[in-house]
Every structure is written in structure tokens, then in C-alpha cells.
């Protein structure tokens, strides 16, 4: 159980652009938001996509978070609103968040993080085998960032997704890959 004090401290750091704080918040609440989304629609892929979008939107709007409220409640409110938007736009081809990505560009891209360092240290053949254990969209994120050495901005163009979604997906991909490496080492 994560203490509220630790969450508030991470939120303050995230407001200043600290990527480690973003990762901490993502890791602390991923399961809660994903479970909430899965309970709403019973579609794992859609739940995961909406969870990614929830964190992307939350990280874009982190400066507006009022610390009088619980961070988890704030996240779940964002998640619920995104789900309602999805229901309203069900007939459209894709759900899009019409948000200027300028806030997402402020998230610092500090390299290497502990997850990055673990990834770099692995034998390439072994690493490729571990990467293949990830879901295809996470494999693509790792491939574009580490093998094709694309910047976030290049990934936005390549994948035609908002910067905030790219960053959240890459954070999640790195975390899952680091877990697979730890489990198999």
C-alpha cells in the first residue's frame, strides 16, 4: 500500500517534470485504473488503451490536480470521463483526445532510468526473446525507441498518436520488460 504522503510528494515532483515521479504514479495506480476500465467494458485491449489514455490525460493535466482530493479518485474520474466519451463516440473509427501536446513535451526525458539501464545491460539475443514476450504494441514502442533510436517527437509522427500517449506506453513497456527480465534472470 502506497502512503498518501508518498503520492503527494510524487505529484509535486511530477508537476516539476520529474519522469521518475511519473513512473512511480503510473506503477502505483496502473492496476486500479485498468481494473476499473475492465469492469466497465470487459474488453482487455480497450481497457488497456483507455488506461493509457487516462494516464496520458492525467499527466497532461497534473498541474491542475488539487491536493485536497485523493489522487486515485482524480484518476478514476478521468478514466470514467474517457469511458463516457468512448461510449458517445462508439460509432467513430477511433477515440481521440483533442488536447494540445505542449504539456507532454515538458516531461523530461532523462536517460537512462533504472529500467533503461537494465534493458541496456542485457545480451541482445536474450533481450529480443524477452521483448517478444510483450504485447505487440509494447514491442513496437521498445523497437522504435531503442532499436530505431527515435525521439518521442519522431514516434508521435510515426504512430500518429499524442505525445502523452507515447510517453505513457513507453513507460509501461519499459516496466513490463524490466519485470520480464528480472523474472527470467
pLDDT in tens, 121-180: 555 667 778 889 999 989 999 888 888 888 888 999 999 988 888 889 988 898 898 888
In 3D, which of 101, 172, 107 has the Cα closest to residue 137? 172
Rounded distance between C-alpha atoms, residue 103 and residue 56, angstroms: 10
Share of the chain above pLDDT 70, in %: 80
Torsion on CA atoms 80, 67, 26, 15, rounded to nearest 10 = 120
> Alpha helix locations (H) across 61-162?
71-88, 114-121, 124-131, 136-142, 152-159
* 3-class secondary-structure state, position 134: coil
Domain boundary among 88, 118, 145: 88
Rounded distance between C-alpha atoms, residue 165 and residue 104, angstroms: 9
Domain boundary among 41, 59, 88: 88
Confidence band (pLDDT; 50, 70, 90) for 112? Answer: low
What is the domain range of residue 75?
Answer: 4-88
In 3D, which of 124, 120, 104, 129 has the Cα closest to residue 174? 120
CATH number at residue 76: 1.10.1740.10
Q: Is residue 99 part of a domain?
A: no
- Read off the DSSP letter of residue 118: H
Res 94 pLDDT > 50: no
Q: Could you give the number of structural domains in the chain?
A: 2
Tell me: do 60 and 130 sit in the same domain.
Answer: no
Tell me: do 19 and 78 sit in the same domain.
Answer: yes
Q: Is residue 45 part of a domain?
A: yes
Q: Is residue 156 part of a domain?
A: yes
State the pTM of this model: 0.62
In 3D, which of 141, 143, 115, 111 has the Cα closest to residue 128? 143
Tell me: do 72 and 114 sit in the same domain.
Answer: no
In 3D, which of 102, 111, 86, 79 has the Cα closest to residue 156? 102
Confidence band (pLDDT; 50, 70, 90) for 3? Answer: confident
- Count CB atoms within 10 A of the CB of residue 1: 4
Tell me: do 120 and 180 sit in the same domain.
Answer: yes
Tell me: do 35 and 82 sit in the same domain.
Answer: yes
pLDDT at 25: 92
Q: pLDDT for 42-62, tens place per residue?
A: 888 888 888 998 999 999 899
Tell me: do 59 and 117 sit in the same domain.
Answer: no
Amino acid at each position: 500500500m502506497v502512503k498518501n504522503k508518498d503520492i503527494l510528494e510524487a505529484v509535486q515532483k511530477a508537476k516539476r517534470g520529474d519522469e521518475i515521479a511519473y513512473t512511480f504514479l503510473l506503477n502505483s495506480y496502473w492496476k486500479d485504473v485498468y481494473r476499473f476500465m475492465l469492469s466497465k467494458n470487459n474488453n482487455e485491449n480497450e481497457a488497456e488503451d483507455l488506461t493509457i489514455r487516462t494516464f496520458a490525460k492525467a499527466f497532461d493535466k497534473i498541474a491542475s490536480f488539487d491536493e485536497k482530493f485523493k489522487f486515485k479518485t482524480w484518476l478514476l474520474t478521468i478514466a470514467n470521463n474517457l469511458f463516457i466519451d468512448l461510449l458517445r463516440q462508439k460509432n467513430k473509427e477511433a477515440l481521440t483526445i483533442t488536447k494540445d501536446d505542449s504539456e507532454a513535451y515538458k516531461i523530461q526525458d532523462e536517460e537512462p532510468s533504472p529500467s533503461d539501464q537494465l534493458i541496456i545491460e542485457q545480451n541482445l539475443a536474450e533481450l529480443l526473446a524477452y521483448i517478444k514476450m510483450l504485447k505487440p504494441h509494447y514491442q513496437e514502442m521498445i523497437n522504435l525507441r531503442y532499436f530505431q533510436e527515435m525521439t518521442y517527437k519522431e514516434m508521435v509522427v510515426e504512430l500518429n498518436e499524442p505525445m502523452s500517449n507515447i510517453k505513457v506506453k513507453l513507460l509501461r513497456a519499459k516496466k513490463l520488460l524490466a519485470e520480464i527480465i528480472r523474472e527470467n534472470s
